[in-house]
A and B are shown apart, each in its own frame.
Chain A
Amino acid sequence: MRITQGTFSFLPDLTDEQIKKQVQYCIDKGWAVNLEFTDDPHPRNTYWEMWGVPMFDTKDASAVMLEFRECRKVYGGRHYIRLSAFDASHGCESVKLSIIVDRPKNEPGFRLQRQESVGRNVSYTTHAYATDRTEGERYRN
């Protein structure tokens, strides 16, 4: 099941050229671009691991692409990699754009768990099949 989080996630994956253009758009707007990765696809997993610090003073998208390629070398194909742009003009960093730029080859999806409790109440839990395995091993074939 394809994870759909952030911008453009219902479209086919962006090519590197398209990603670069998005990054340049963010930089031109004065936003800081950041790279994060995770192998826990749960939608409530908000804070992903950071790949270095956000790039505050880059002027050109090629610098971000350099880091992205480095990150993909390590985690590509077995983690989700997300690119997010922060706007600090409000006085606090707020996310303006977030794109999943790399994803595991196989995305097993989620199991819906129903828990029957008192009366006829049912509480639901989504459980990612990937998280049955330990961290770092989840998308390894």
Chain B
Amino acid sequence: MADCEKNGAARSAIASEDVDLRAEFAATGLGSILEQLDRDLVGLAPVKQRIREIAALLLVDRVRKRMALSAEAPTLHMSFTGNPGTGKTTVALRMAELLHKLGYVRRGHLVSVTRDDLVGQYIGHTAPKTKEILKKAMGGVLFIDEAYYLHRQENERDYGQEAIEILLQVMENQREDLVVILAGYTARMETFFRSNPGFRSRVAHHIDFPDFSDDELFRIAEMMLAKQNYRLSSCAADALRAYITERMRQPLFANARSIRNALDRARLRQANRHMAADRMVTVADLMTIDAPDILASRVLRRNGSAGPATH
């Protein structure tokens, strides 16, 4: 009752005062993070959209809190699902920064773990290990990669269950201290959530990372090369486009990660080409990836044939 009155009083006190959400937005420095997100991450439109939505929600929530309109800390635990190489870890890092700017985590660091870091080897080993990690992550974001490995369906005495129970408890009771992000491949995360309903209900935001289109992959390749001070010759660009189209059709395609590996091999071939040529090289030579470096790939040579290609 007293609380009601207090809230009421607070509300009437600021009723006349309007809030400029734009100014509020500028004050947090969120704009620069979202812009950087747009600039650094190619594609991923639905993901960026969701992040903007979450940011807007949190910003409004913060203003509401200041006006004593809401008291509960919102649930911020998230799950990132998507195929390999779609940028889940990269976005998680940004998310930690974003939540820090908004004041929803106090430190803004990201602790990235897998099953190994949480689950022990023998009875009584798991709880202290999990707690240690949780303590480390407090005030920041705990990123659990390939979270479904925590739950081993075939072995009911697996210690993973113990880690899950501790996690769930902390996720519920210490929402203001820690944000947990679970990540993994879509289908397996679905099974994981189905067998651990506790997780599904505690995770507020499910974000699905779509695969990249071939155009987006090409732009990613260009950005990766630019970061390492390489550039593509125009024939090489055409070759790379052909390579991407071909590679996407083949099994074990891991989106941006496959592209990164392909570029690493192209660099290797470029270096070998210059070594074998036995003549003076210019700076431009050292910076340019040429068509042969890409065309030599097995993906293009075995054009049309089935079977996984790794080179």
Give min CB distance, A24 to chain B, whole Å: 9
Given known pairs A55-B135, A67-B135, the reply for A62 and B177 (CB within 8 Å) is yes
Give min CB distance, A99 to chain B, whole Å: 20
A contact face: mostly helix, strand, loop, or mixed: helix
Given known pairs A59-B107, A60-B106, A60-B177, the reply for A66 and B138 (CB within 8 Å) is yes
Is B109 engaged at the interface, CB distance under 8 Å to the other chain? yes
Is B82 engaged at the interface, CB distance under 8 Å to the other chain? no
* Residues of chain B lying within 8 A (CB to CB) of residue A66: 135, 138, 174
Is A50 engaged at the interface, CB distance under 8 Å to the other chain? no
* Residues of chain B lying within 8 A (CB to CB) of residue A61: 139
Bound form: Cα–Cα A61–B107 in Å: 10
Bound form: Cα–Cα A81–B169 in Å: 25
How many A-B pairs have beta carbons closer than 8 Å: the answer is 34
B contact face: mostly helix, strand, loop, or mixed: loop
B60-96: CB near A (< 8 Å → 1, else 0) gives: 0000000000000000000000000000000000000
CB atoms of B140 and A59 under 8 A apart: yes
Instruction: Count chain A residues whose beta carbon lies closer than 8 angstroms to a beta carbon of B.
Output: 11
* Residues of chain B lying within 8 A (CB to CB) of residue A95: none
Bound form: Cα–Cα A64–B140 in Å: 14
CB atoms of B177 and A59 under 8 A apart: no
* Residues of chain B lying within 8 A (CB to CB) of residue A62: 138-139, 174, 177-178
* Residues of chain B lying within 8 A (CB to CB) of residue A64: 135
Kindly name the residue among B134, B138, B174 whose own CB sees the greatest number of chain A CB atoms within 10 A.
B138
Give min CB distance, A58 to chain B, whole Å: 5
Bound form: Cα–Cα A66–B139 in Å: 12
B91-118 CB contacts (< 8 Å) to partner A: 106-107, 109
* Residues of chain A lying within 8 A (CB to CB) of residue B311: none
* Residues of chain B lying within 8 A (CB to CB) of residue A59: 107, 109, 136, 138-140
Bound form: Cα–Cα A63–B177 in Å: 8
* Residues of chain B lying within 8 A (CB to CB) of residue A57: 136
Bound form: Cα–Cα A57–B111 in Å: 12
Per CB-CB distance, the 9 closest pairs between chain A and chain B, nearest first, are: A60-B139, A63-B135, A62-B177, A63-B138, A60-B138, A62-B138, A59-B107, A58-B135, A59-B139
Give A residues with C-beta under 8 Å from B.
55, 57-64, 66-67
Q: List 22 A-B contacts (CB under 8 A).
A: A59-B107, A59-B109, A59-B136, A59-B138, A59-B139, A59-B140, A60-B106, A60-B107, A60-B139, A60-B140, A60-B177, A62-B138, A62-B139, A62-B177, A62-B178, A63-B135, A63-B136, A63-B139, A63-B177, A64-B135, A66-B135, A67-B135
